[in-house]
Amino acid sequence: MLAFENAPPFAAPLRFFLSAPLFAVLAGLLVAFEGPDIFASRWTPGALAATHLITIGFMLQVMLGALIQILPVVAGASLKNPLTVARIVHPGLSAGALLLAAGFMAGMPVLLASAAFVLGLTALFFLAVTARALIGVANTSPTIRGIKLALFGLAGVVGLGVFLALALAGGWSIPLMALADLHAGWGLGGWAGVLLAAMAYTVVPMFQLTPGYPARAGWGFPNFMLVMLVLWSVAVFADWPWLARLGQLGCALAGIAFAGLTLRLQGKRRRARPDATYRYWQLGLIATILALILLATAAVWPAAADLDGWTLIFGALLMAGGFLPFITGMLYKIVPFLSWMHLQNAGQAKVPAPAMNKILPEIGMHRQLLAYTAALALLLAAQFFPALLTRPAGLAFAAANAWLWWNLLGAIRRYHHHRADIEARLTTP
């Protein structure tokens, strides 16, 4: 039961959706600029900067924008003044991502500390606003429960991230590698993974016309994922490596099970012709399974993670191959759907809204998908042939995400054109 009448103004989520691809463009240009040295280690300044441009600048932007849209519609959790919330959170995320990337590249403690301050306050504000809205909202569906648990994961990843940034800025003596791995686990598993699953329970059957997710999987996945992350966290602070590996293995197996279930449901979809969203999700699911197989292998055989390129390939598969295709696929449905919905409302049942494929044509999405797939293939191949392929991979990744931005911008231009036409027709006697 979706309450679309509670939807916030279109401008609230839209600013997040339109700016996110530009951070991915910047990450690709950074890879091209740094060249082969960026893949020497996961700890190079360029690799750290590019990673956080993707995770904060792209992923977090879209996810928080989507929550501003989804909370009142799916959960009935009304955010007071959603446009004001968006106007505070969006610049905070954008400035924080740029400060953090600049801090890594320049090695300047003041920039890292500033990024920690800006991102910490922004996340705290968003968590406070959403917690207030969700108070009293019953867990009537796996989506609502998943969103609540994902926000707990967001608090975990931001808290660890702020601590790590301040530790690097202050030169504190900490178990950096173990905490960085845990930070990634909370970010990609407890926050992004749980939120993605919570949204998938609604948007996959809705937009891809699949059967619904089984109730046991819908309720059980986020609970199991967070239990594994809590075990992993206890293991890090108690210095129990075996328990940390158990937590990592549990996270990997849960993610593989969710991805495999989604693939099975997609095989039963009622729509015969696959569209760009379906293809993006297929790409994301397959890449995610491959990445999590690597994680499970490293949890059972820790020496595997020390092999050349293992961690970087895992990161590229999971983020560039998994989460970005999932998010892009959803953007290609959410933006035209919201455009159509707001045009339908503007028409006041007197002037019909254009079809969604008139707002964002399929041909443009399909071509951008091909460009992104080629960029991903180059990015993965560059791990093995860095001298030859790193710069082409970075440029291809930047170009594919610039194309995504152009497609979304085109949809918004058509939305404004159709809205002006509807308003003119309503005022014409």
pLDDT tier, 346 (very low <50, low <70, confident <90, very high otherwise): confident
Check whether 402 has a pLDDT greater than 80. yes
pLDDT tier, 91 (very low <50, low <70, confident <90, very high otherwise): very high
Any domain includes 422: no
Check whether 172 has a pLDDT greater than 80. yes
Check whether 58 has a pLDDT greater than 90. yes
* pLDDT at residue 353, as a whole number: 83
pLDDT digits (tens, 9 = 90+) for 200-211: 988 888 888 888
Burial (CB count <10 Å: 0-12, 13-18, 19+), residue 35: middle
pLDDT tier, 2 (very low <50, low <70, confident <90, very high otherwise): low
Contact 358, 414 (CB under 8 A): yes
Domain count, the chain: 1
Check whether 429 has a pLDDT greater than 70. no
Contact 325, 404 (CB under 8 A): no
Any domain includes 429: no
| End-to-end C-alpha distance for the chain, whole angstroms | 37
Contact 13, 338 (CB under 8 A): yes
Check whether 1 has a pLDDT greater than 70. no
Any domain includes 428: no
Which residue's entry shows tokens 């970010």? 187
Check whether 76 has a pLDDT greater than 80. no
Per-residue CA distances from 58 to 148, 192, 251, 320 (Å): 21, 12, 23, 11
* pLDDT at residue 300, as a whole number: 93
pLDDT tier, 424 (very low <50, low <70, confident <90, very high otherwise): confident
Residue 303 or residue 251, greater confidence: 251
Give the whole-angstrom CA distance, residue 229 versus residue 250. 9
* pLDDT at residue 209, as a whole number: 83
Model pTM? 0.94
Give the whole-angstrom CA distance, residue 261 versus residue 259. 5
pLDDT digits (tens, 9 = 90+) for 14-44: 999 999 999 999 999 999 999 999 988 889 9
* pLDDT at residue 283, as a whole number: 96
* pLDDT at residue 3, as a whole number: 60
pLDDT digits (tens, 9 = 90+) for 109-167: 999 999 999 999 999 999 999 999 888 788 778 888 999 999 999 999 999 999 999 99
pLDDT digits (tens, 9 = 90+) for 298-329: 999 988 888 888 889 999 999 999 999 999 99
Look up the CATH number of the domain holding residue 47.
Answer: 1.20.210.10
Structure tokens at 69: 């849209």
Any domain includes 302: yes
Residue 68 or residue 269, greater confidence: 68
* pLDDT at residue 4, as a whole number: 64
Any domain includes 408: yes
Per-residue CA distances from 36 to 93, 185, 384 (Å): 29, 26, 10
Question: 292: closest CA among 212, 382, 219, 189?
Answer: 189
Any domain includes 375: yes
Contact 188, 232 (CB under 8 A): no
pLDDT average, residue stretch 265-285:
87
* pLDDT at residue 36, as a whole number: 94
* pLDDT at residue 160, as a whole number: 95
Residue 114 or residue 428, greater confidence: 114
CA atoms within a 13 Å half-sphere pointing along the CA-CB vector of 343:
28
Any domain includes 427: no
pLDDT tier, 218 (very low <50, low <70, confident <90, very high otherwise): confident
Any domain includes 225: yes
* pLDDT at residue 369, as a whole number: 97
Check whether 339 has a pLDDT greater than 80. yes
| Rounded (10°) CA dihedral 362, 341, 283, 396 | 60
Q: Whole domain around residue 304: which residue ranges?
A: 4-417
Question: 9: closest CA among 338, 332, 358, 418?
Answer: 338
Check whether 98 has a pLDDT greater than 90. yes
Mean predicted lDDT score pLDDT of the chain: 91
